[in-house]
Amino acid sequence: MKNFINRLFHMSRELKLFAMASVLMGLAYSMVDATFNNFLDARFHLTGFERSFLEFPRELPGFLVVFVSALLWFFCSRRLGGVALIFSAVGALCLGLLSNSYVIMVIWLFLYSMGQHLFIPISSAIGMELSHEGHTGQRLGQLNALRNAAVITGSFFVFLAFRYLNFDFQKTYILVAVIFLAASFFMFRMKPQETKVPKAFLKLHKEYRLYYLLAILYGSRKQLFITFAPWVLVTIFNQPTQTLATLLTIGGVIGILFQPLLGWAIDHLGERRVLILEATFLVLVCLGYAFAKDTFAEHTAFLIICVCFLLDQMLMSVNMARAMYIKKIAKQPDHVQAALTAGVTIDHIFSISIALLGGLIWNVFGYQYVFILGVCIAVVSLFAAMKIQIPLQAQPISSAVLEIQQD
């Protein structure tokens, strides 16, 4: 503990500001996640189709983020991060105060989600900028652990506020907007970097095609976890809402310890080995989802599914290894954020597609075949990870990182 406190005091100004922004961001997003479904049910009494339709405006910003980032090229990553948090603040505030109809609510949801998706690649890019050479994974792991702690805190606050403090959705989303604005304030306090007019918008580089493939595979496997893993618990094992909430909380607590360890592993074992291990475990997880119920007794099968769910949640964090891979192979420093942003767009194209395909497979063939598809995705991911080669020479980005740290 004493060593951790000493590290906090010796953090650079930029890292302290970004850490504060990250913690506040995690707090705000978790408060929305913990209340949004109840908000929809209480305010609009949605049908199943209307609730399903909301996934389109919620995920569409992930596809559009590369285009929006191109339009906002004149902001450096730190300033764009501040702007993204303002988008989320306005979206959350309007969700709570101005959602007079379902259609109007969809507009505010889109704005909120746009800010959220804009911040995803920026967060990784800035985290890598603020790391010491050779310890990038450790830094990303530390920042993710801080966000995990904030997520748990935000969810617990919602529980206490609604149960004991007479909170409602309006008060919650007003508070969320204030927290987002505070996070944006810390982002704008960071020292801006120089911006350059891009030579071409939305350009995909053939040198990064393996990274783009990894983004496709990540988007596909991500949707299996987000959409179909909880659905197995709810519809196949008939578990109540409390079970999923408990598993998410346990996963969050594990993540606080796991994220720094994962970052250390990436730094010391390399992205290739870590991604190979991820794909191997993902094969086992998907096999567990698919065949546990038909192979084991009901209680044992349920416990296996819970373990698979927690492993799946942990494996989602390995996406930081993909971010570090593009940093190491990038030909120019300004390619990193551009590639990360393109990766988010590519990932969402395939995550939306796999959700539709998986739903069709579930209805026609059964839930097991959705996870057999997951096994196939994991096997392709395994072979893709084996293709990773990190250049031995120091990357040009290293000097840029050092300049930022020295400032």
User: Taking 80 as the threshold, does the pLDDT of residue 62 lie above it?
Assistant: no
The DSSP call for residue 331 is S
Main-chain dihedrals φ then ψ at residue 162, nearest 5 degrees: -75, -30
**Domain membership flag for residue 401:** no
User: Taking 80 as the threshold, does the pLDDT of residue 280 lie above it?
Assistant: yes
SS3 of 211, please?
helix
Main-chain dihedrals φ then ψ at residue 364, nearest 5 degrees: -85, -45
User: Taking 90 as the threshold, does the pLDDT of residue 234 lie above it?
Assistant: no
114 and 20 fall within a common domain: yes
126 in Cβ contact with 333 (< 8 Å): no
184 and 293 fall within a common domain: no
48 and 185 fall within a common domain: yes
31 in Cβ contact with 176 (< 8 Å): yes
164 and 229 fall within a common domain: no
**Domain membership flag for residue 88:** yes
367 in Cβ contact with 232 (< 8 Å): yes
Q: Tell which residue, 161, 59, 162, 127, has the closest CA to residue 320.
A: 127
27 in Cβ contact with 176 (< 8 Å): no
User: Taking 60 as the threshold, does the pLDDT of residue 201 lie above it?
Assistant: no
Give the span between the Cα atoms of 244 and 233, in whole angstroms.
8
Main-chain dihedrals φ then ψ at residue 15, nearest 5 degrees: -70, -40
Give the span between the Cα atoms of 319 and 63, in whole angstroms.
18
Average pLDDT, the chain: 80
**Domain membership flag for residue 236:** yes
Give the span between the Cα atoms of 280 and 377, in whole angstroms.
11
Name, in order, each residue with C-beta under 8 angstroms of 400's C-beta and a sequence gap of 6 or more.
129, 333
**Domain membership flag for residue 398:** no
User: Taking 50 as the threshold, does the pLDDT of residue 300 lie above it?
Assistant: yes
Residue 165: the pLDDT is 85
Dihedral class, residue 200 (left if φ above 0, else alpha if ψ from -120 to 50, else beta)? beta
Tokens of 12: 């650079």
What pLDDT digit, counting tens, does each position of 106-143 carry? 999 999 999 988 887 777 777 777 666 666 666 776 77
190 and 221 fall within a common domain: no
* CB-neighbour burial class of residue 340 (10 A; exposed 0-12, middle 13-18, buried 19+): buried
218 and 170 fall within a common domain: no
349 and 381 fall within a common domain: yes
183 and 214 fall within a common domain: no
Give the span between the Cα atoms of 187 and 17, in whole angstroms.
7
223 and 186 fall within a common domain: no
The number of folded domains in the chain is: 2
Domain residue limits at 106: 13-194
User: Taking 70 as the threshold, does the pLDDT of residue 194 lie above it?
Assistant: no
Name, in order, each residue with C-beta under 8 angstroms of 318's C-beta and a sequence gap of 6 or more.
262, 274, 275, 278
CB atoms within 10 A of CB 264: 15
**Domain membership flag for residue 262:** yes
Specify which of 32-46, 49-63, 279-293 reaches the highest per-range mean pLDDT: 279-293
Split at pLDDT 50, 70, 90, the class of 404 is very low
- Considering just the CA atoms, what is the radius of gyration of the chain in Å? 21
110 and 169 fall within a common domain: yes
Domain boundary among 194, 216, 236: 194
Residue 289: the pLDDT is 93
**Domain membership flag for residue 404:** no
204 vs 44, residue with greater confidence: 44
145 in Cβ contact with 259 (< 8 Å): yes
Buried b (16+ CB within 10 A) or exposed e, 11-46: eeebbbbbbbbbbbbbbbbbbbebbbeebbeebeee
Largest CA distance in the chain: 61
Residue 373: the pLDDT is 93
Mean pLDDT of 196-205: 59
SS3 of 332, please?
coil
- Looking up residue 45, the CATH number of its domain turns out to be 1.20.1250.20
220 and 183 fall within a common domain: no
99 and 145 fall within a common domain: yes
**Domain membership flag for residue 400:** no
Give the span between the Cα atoms of 281 and 296, in whole angstroms.
20
**Domain membership flag for residue 284:** yes
DSSP 93-151: HHHHHS--SHHHHHHHHHHHHHHHHHHHHHHHHHHHHTSPTT-HHHHHHHHHHHHHHHH
